[in-house]
């Protein structure tokens, strides 16, 4: 008799403008996670009269927490058709030669929704918090570190973390190839929410949780393909920036809701209505990193427009769809 395994199925619901993450657990002797179903009428993915939706496993990860495996799924209708909420399906054009590095920014929050460290009112102005140390400058470090360790144990390539510009705000960088890069980012978010639960803390990925002179949260997206990495030229990189500029509004519509609150032209952003690119320019829509220049125009680009709440499937579908 084979051993029972605990699979934790993770999927995206039908909420708009961005989906939330859902999960449920299956204990089975199956050696691979089987197709499964759920009640789509409870996730805005079906009507009550015909409520079954299907979960198709697409990536399996070792689970560093309670269960044995985390199973990233995409959703189908009960008739085995691509569900309208399934943004992953449109990203299937993204080949493994495309590499992505997502810089996920977020805030840890108290039960009342205020950022960690803001319990006694508005903290000192920004200045000391970015990459800071000491409890007056940093809040939630132990959660960020537990999350990093869990992602690495799961085989998700986090390449770094840092305390961000506002108190209670953090970033991690998540790297991957092709469509799996976006699967990994969604699973890393799932692990972040779940680990924060253990600390009685929430996670807020809204792009501007605090108005005023406080940085918002983005998800700068670094990307490259084979040509950019090894056969690059100034002409190639600038033509890619120009192409993305021609469809700027379409990009913005794929890069997360409420992004107008963040892309104001202040706080290291370009205004949402303007497209620009430039070498080392953190006030541009797209930054050409100094790394790329120093390697004689071989390297990557950084799209600084995506918001922290953006769906990575939509981001990569937009970038690759525009540039191929
Ligand atoms: Mg950052």
State the distance from the centre of ligand 1 to the C-alpha of 177, rounded, in angstroms: 21
Q: Which residue has the tokens 């699979």?
A: 7
How close is the Cα of 245 to the center of ligand 1, in Å? 23
Cβ–Cβ < 8 Å for 102, 193: no
What is the CA(168)–ligand 1 centre distance, in A? 13
Give residue 1's pLDDT.
60
Average pLDDT, the chain: 96
pLDDT per residue as tens digits for the range 80-92: 999 999 999 999 9
Indicate the helix (H) or strand (E) that contains 64.
Answer: none
Per-residue pLDDT tens digits for 280-322: 998 999 999 999 999 999 999 999 999 999 999 999 999 999 9
Backbone angles phi, psi at 105, to 5 degrees: -105, 150
Cβ-contact 108, 143 below 8 angstroms: yes
Q: Please state whether the predicted TM-score (pTM) of the whole model is above 0.75.
A: yes
Q: Quick one: what percent of the chain has pLDDT higher than 90?
A: 95
Containing 193, the helix (H) or strand (E) segment is helix 178-198
Whether the pLDDT of residue 48 is over 90: the answer is no
Q: For residue 50, is pLDDT > 90?
A: no
Q: What is the pLDDT of residues 141-189, one digit of tens each?
A: 999 999 999 999 999 999 999 999 999 999 999 999 999 999 999 999 9
Q: What angle do CA 242, 245, 246 make, to 5 degrees?
A: 90
Ligand 1: centre distance to CA 103 (Å): 6
């Amino acid at each position: 008799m084979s051993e029972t395994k605990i699979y934790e199925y993770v999927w995206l619901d039908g909420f708009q403008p961005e989906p939330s993450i859902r999960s449920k657990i299956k204990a089975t002797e199956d050696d691979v996670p089987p197709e499964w179903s759920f009640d789509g009428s409870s996730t805005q993915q079906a009507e009550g009269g015909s409520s079954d939706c299907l979960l198709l496993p697409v990536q399996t990860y070792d689970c560093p927490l309670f269960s044995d495996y985390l199973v990233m799924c995409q959703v189908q209708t009960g008739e085995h058709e691509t569900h309208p909420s399934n943004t992953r399906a449109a990203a299937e054009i993204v080949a493994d030669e495309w590499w992505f590095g997502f810089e996920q920014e977020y805030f840890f929050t108290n039960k009342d929704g205020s950022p960690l460290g803001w319990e006694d009112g508005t903290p000192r102005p920004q200045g000391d918090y970015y990459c800071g140390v000491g409890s007056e400058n940093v809040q939630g470090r132990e959660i960020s570190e537990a999350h990093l360790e869990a992602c690495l144990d799961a085989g998700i390539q986090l390449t770094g973390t840092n305390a961000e510009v506002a108190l209670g705000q953090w970033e991690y960088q998540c790297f991957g190839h092709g469509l799996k890069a976006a699967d990994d980012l969604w699973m890393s978010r799932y692990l972040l929410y779940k680990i924060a639960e253990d600390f009685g803390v929430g996670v807020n990925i809204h792009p501007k949780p605090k108005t005023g002179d406080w940085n918002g949260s983005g998800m700068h997206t670094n990307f490259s393909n084979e040509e950019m990495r090894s056969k690059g030229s100034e002409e190639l990189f600038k033509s890619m920036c120009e192409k993305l500029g021609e469809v700027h509004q379409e990009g913005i519509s794929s890069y997360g809701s409420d992004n107008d609150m963040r892309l104001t032209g202040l706080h290291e952003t370009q205004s949402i209505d303007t497209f620009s690119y430039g070498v080392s320019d953190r006030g541009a829509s797209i930054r050409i990193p100094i790394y790329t220049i120093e390697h004689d125009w071989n390297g990557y680009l950084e799209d600084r427009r995506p918001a922290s709440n953006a769906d990575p499937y939509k981001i990569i579908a937009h970038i690759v769809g525009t540039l191929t």
